[in-house]
Amino acid sequence: MRNHWDIFCSVVDNFGDIGVCWRLARQLAAEHGLAVRLWVDGLASLNLLCPSIDPTLDQQNAAGVQICRWPDCFPETAPADVVIEAFACELPTVYLQAMSRGSSPPVWVNLEYLSAESWVEGCHALASPHPTLPLKKTFFFPGFTKSTGGLLLEKGLFEQRDAFHTTLPASERLEVSLFCYDTAPVSALLDAWIKTGQPMRCRVAPGQPLAAVTNHLGGSGPWQLGHLLIEPIPFLTQADYDRLLWSCDLNFVRGEDSFVRAQWAAVPFVWQIYRQDDEAHHIKLGAFLQRYTEALAEPESKAVRNFFLAWNQGSEQMVQHWADFSAVRPTLVRYGKNWANQLAQNELTKNLVNFCRGKL
């Protein structure tokens, strides 16, 4: 198999796109022995995920990956054997033209956003010809079923997770992590926690989550509110964030990357989906909840659905929804491990490599 891969990533906002691309690039290099070049137009965002990256350099190497700045004026560059266009970021025109001039065009894949919607299965691995160039692009959809591309999962991650769990000290309080968008009803959630009187520690991510907490409570933290301790935490690398998820009894996550990592953590989680202007995110959220809860009994399924919806849409009954969700959490602990093991049977990077191998 020809082994040179280019991944193009445009950092739109937040860290989801670059988070996924950075994981994929590292895994392709480390587990499949591929020469990977990652083109990024926002090196500052990658620097937060990987502090060894120097955002001032145009080219550098880290974790076996060649990292290149994606400039506005793209240089003449020899295309790779496989070209990954992440999340429809649109390849540079000069690069596309170079792809079309070769005697054997590269395998061109558009890595799509993750969705649990049923239509994804019918669109996964479909090809589309370029309107003017002798090229075709294949759409590769991550997903939750065998008819999709699956999810990113590094080799040995579950063994690392389980070994880490053996090192955790016993705790009588509920350990929680909070990572959300600024539209999350954080104030209502904190008020619900204060009313329960349950011993809790919530570790709050910087940026939008901490801003929402600070806006509600004032000051700069940490905050001790009866049995509730709220602690700000620094920005974490991807490996450190995994360990945070593993150390908690409940994780609030958002977007795509942390959403998947919470499922690999195999503990209860609550997901805030990325909001879309056309309200399509409600459909996407409903599709995931349908898949995630279909093997749960009705009381647990209802509690999960109600709390996820309250977290994403707001609700005047947050106290009750939290109480119902908290009551079924022991069941979700057992369910989470089975769910993670089931999803792990369909690993995205391996599927992507095998797909491209068949096209070269």
Active site residue 17: yes
CA distance 127 to 350: 19
Catalytic residue among 17, 85, 242, 347: 17
The sign of the CA dihedral 123, 127, 129, 135 is: positive
Q: Which two tokens stand for residue 335?
A: 């369910």
Give dist(CA 245, CA 264) in Å, integer.
Answer: 9
CA distances from 6 to 29, 66, 292, 349 (A): 12, 9, 34, 14
Crossing angle of the two packed helices 186-196 and 318-343, in degrees rounded to 10: 100
DSSP code at position 29 = H
d(CA 323, CA 321): 5
Q: Which residues pair with 272 in a beta bridge?
A: 254
Contact 21, 28 (CB under 8 A): no
**Which of 128, 93, 97, 131 shows the shortest CA–CA distance to 110?**
128
256 tagged catalytic: yes
**CA 211/CA 205 separation, integer angstroms:** 9
Q: Are 124 and 150 in contact (CB under 8 A)?
A: no
Q: Which one of the listed residues 256, 257, 300, 347 is annotated catalytic?
A: 256
Q: What CA–CA distance (Å, rounded) separates 255 from 180?
A: 8
What type of residue is 72?
D
Angle between helices 318-343 and 257-265 (to 10 degrees): 80
**Catalytic residue numbers, as ranges:** 17, 256
